[in-house]
């Protein structure tokens, strides 16, 4: 029979489950807890950071209360849907036992009264973004102590977020996007010391760089859990091998590459091309006032050449639907750029790249690379790609045989651009030369289509004026 105590317990303790922070992800690893049992949390406060197969994400709690139990320690991989934290949403209502697995017994000095928590607002957690405020961390008062009046900190923090408060609440969490927070951690900058210039008081990447410029020391940031490769740990003397757990991004890469290699019949074609005129164009664009403030490099022109080649060969921008036995033709281009990061290989993409001007494409590439380097690329940024470029030339190699990104049918590898002897206008001259490699899915891209597509990219890079004549 259900008792009144059982009912009150169910209403008093709320559980927060591991959400699906990406598109169809099934698990995530808890990197760091920002709260402990006994801490007071508020709706929207970030309680932990998790790493999925695609990105590191901060999770905010969607209700107020006092942390009752953390179900998993840091470093644990948890399935989506499992409870990761239990919160007492009515801490002042007396002793109760949560309907959950038994935890380690609490000290006998135990439950005490705290300020009544607000009723749950029912707001769904924002998994990626900014704007939540982290309240001051406080423990429950001892039993017998007078009930303290409601703390003013959360109200003051909210007032400051609304632009009406003062700087009197040092616990207010500065407004900044996850990539900016990561950059601040890497540079040792305390965001509380940074003057924001973004809309609504948001701290931008430029604000962090500006704060790092002065020579005077800044307050050190809190220790962070950096998702680095475990092999970086010291190797014990005499050890002949090291075993590294396969998880996170590395696990996702392995599954994706095996699935792609043994599902899509790959064909790889190569072409060596004189890109001297492209390099001259890059140098001219760097001096162009319309390109001021964005990074101009050969990858920019190569990306634009690929987009023009897709317009001339739209059949490349498609995917094989095995379940429905259909070829799905994409009328948009989400251009993926393979990026090597401390967490492993990721492929974020530029949405609707076909509609972007050259300055816009340069800005998108710069933001994509910076976000990937900071380790804060969101799962959404890596979803829905249609074609990919991998620039292996940055490592000094001539080319490779790239494996298709799952869900795509073509990937272009760009080799190193080197000064080589080349026959130009009937004479052997030193010219800037590179080798391109195109891998494609032979189920839907025949040799003729793949060859024409690769030849068009090479022709544009040899004569960049074709960006105009063919567009």
Tokens of 311: 């317009």
Q: Which of 128, 134, 249 is nearest to 178 (CA)?
A: 128
pLDDT of residue 344: 77
pLDDT of residue 105: 42
- What does pTM read for this prediction? 0.58
Number of Cβ within a 10 Å radius of residue 221:
17
Q: Which of 338, 337, 384, 341 is nearest to 249 (CA)?
A: 341
Q: Which pLDDT tens digit goes with each residue over 197-234?
A: 876 677 877 777 677 654 433 333 333 333 334 445 67
To which residue do tokens 């544009």 refer? 460
pLDDT of residue 84: 94
Cα–Cα distance for residue pair 36/131, rounded to 1 Å = 22
Q: Which pLDDT tens digit goes with each residue over 15-27?
A: 999 887 765 678 8
Tokens of 126: 């924002």
Number of Cβ within a 10 Å radius of residue 248:
22
To which residue do tokens 């072409």 refer? 271
Cα–Cα distance for residue pair 393/414, rounded to 1 Å = 6
Number of Cβ within a 10 Å radius of residue 268:
17
What is the 8-class DSSP label of residue 100? S
What is the residue-wise DSSP string for 137-162? P-PPPPTTSPPPPPPSHHHHHHHHHT
Q: Which of 214, 173, 212, 215 is nearest to 192 (CA)?
A: 173
Cα–Cα distance for residue pair 426/312, rounded to 1 Å = 30
To which residue do tokens 């009046």 refer? 149
Distances (CA, A) of 177 to 128, 282, 394: 8, 32, 29
- To which H or E segment does residue 267 belong? strand 266-274
Q: Which residues 6+ apart lie within 8 Å of 254 measured at CB?
A: 246
Residue 156 burial by Cβ neighbours in a 10 Å radius (0-12, 13-18, 19+):
buried
Q: Which residues 6+ apart lie within 8 Å of 36 measured at CB?
A: 67, 70
Tokens of 288: 């162009």
Cα–Cα distance for residue pair 46/131, rounded to 1 Å = 11
Strand 13-17 relative to strand 83-88, pairing = antiparallel
Cα–Cα distance for residue pair 406/319, rounded to 1 Å = 10
Question: Which residues of the chain fall short of a pLDDT of 70?
Answer: 1-11, 22-24, 53-54, 93-173, 177-179, 182, 186, 199-200, 209, 212-233, 249
Enumerate the active-site residues.
442
Cα–Cα distance for residue pair 314/332, rounded to 1 Å = 10
pLDDT of residue 300: 96
Cα–Cα distance for residue pair 99/88, rounded to 1 Å = 11
pLDDT of residue 159: 36
pLDDT of residue 189: 79
pLDDT of residue 154: 40
Tokens of 219: 């307050």
Judged by DSSP in three states, 120 sits in coil
């Amino acid at each position: 029979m259900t008792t009144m105590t059982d009912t009150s317990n169910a209403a008093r303790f709320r559980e927060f489950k591991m959400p699906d922070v990406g598109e169809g992800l099934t698990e995530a690893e808890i990197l760091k807890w920002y709260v402990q049992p006994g801490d007071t949390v508020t709706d929207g406060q970030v309680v932990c950071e998790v790493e999925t197969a695609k990105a590191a994400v901060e999770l905010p709690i969607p209700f107020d209360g006092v942390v009752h139990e953390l179900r998993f320690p840091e470093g644990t991989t948890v399935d989506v849907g499992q409870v990761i934290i239990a919160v007492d949403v009515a801490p002042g209502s007396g002793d109760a036992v949560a309907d959950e697995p038994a935890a380690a017994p609490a000290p006998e000095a135990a439950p005490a009264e705290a300020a009544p928590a607000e009723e749950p607002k029912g707001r769904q957690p924002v998994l990626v973004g900014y704007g939540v405020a982290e309240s001051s961390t406080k423990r429950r008062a001892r039993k017998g102590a007078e009930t303290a009046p409601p703390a003013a900190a959360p109200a003051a923090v909210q007032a400051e977020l609304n632009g009406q408060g003062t700087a009197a609440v040092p616990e207010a969490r500065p407004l900044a996007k996850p990539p900016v927070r990561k950059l601040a951690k890497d540079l040792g900058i305390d965001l509380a010391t940074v003057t924001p210039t973004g809309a609504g008081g948001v701290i931008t990447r430029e604000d962090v760089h500006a704060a790092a410029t002065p020579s005077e020391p800044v307050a050190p940031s809190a220790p962070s859990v950096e998702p680095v490769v475990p092999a970086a740990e010291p190797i014990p003397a005499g050890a002949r091998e090291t075993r590294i757990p396969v998880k996170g991004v590395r696990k996702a890469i392995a599954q994706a590459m095996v699935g792609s290699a043994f599902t899509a019949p790959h064909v790889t074609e190569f072409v060596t091309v004189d890109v001297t005129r492209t390099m001259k164009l890059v140098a001219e664009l760097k001096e162009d006032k319309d390109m001021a403030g964005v990074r101009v490099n050969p990858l920019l022109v190569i990306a634009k050449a690929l987009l023009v080649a897709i317009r001339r060969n739209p059949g490349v921008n498609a995917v094989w639907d095995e379940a429905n036995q259909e070829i799905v033709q994409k009328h948009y281009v989400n251009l993926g750029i393979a990026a090597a990061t401390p967490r492993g290989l990721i492929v974020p993409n530029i949405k609707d790249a076909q509609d972007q001007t050259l300055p816009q494409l340069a800005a998108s590439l710069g933001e994509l690379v910076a976000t990937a380097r900071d380790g804060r690329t969101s799962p959404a940024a890596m979803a829905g790609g249609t074609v990919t470029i991998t620039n292996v030339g940055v490592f000094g190699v001539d080319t490779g045989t790239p494996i298709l990104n799952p869900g795509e049918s073509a990937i272009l590898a760009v080799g190193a651009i080197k000064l080589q002897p080349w026959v130009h206008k009937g004479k052997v001259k030193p010219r800037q030369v590179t080798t391109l490699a195109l891998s494609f899915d032979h189920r839907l891209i025949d040799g003729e289509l793949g060859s024409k597509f690769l030849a068009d990219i090479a022709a544009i890079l040899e004569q960049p004026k074709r960006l105009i004549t063919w567009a």
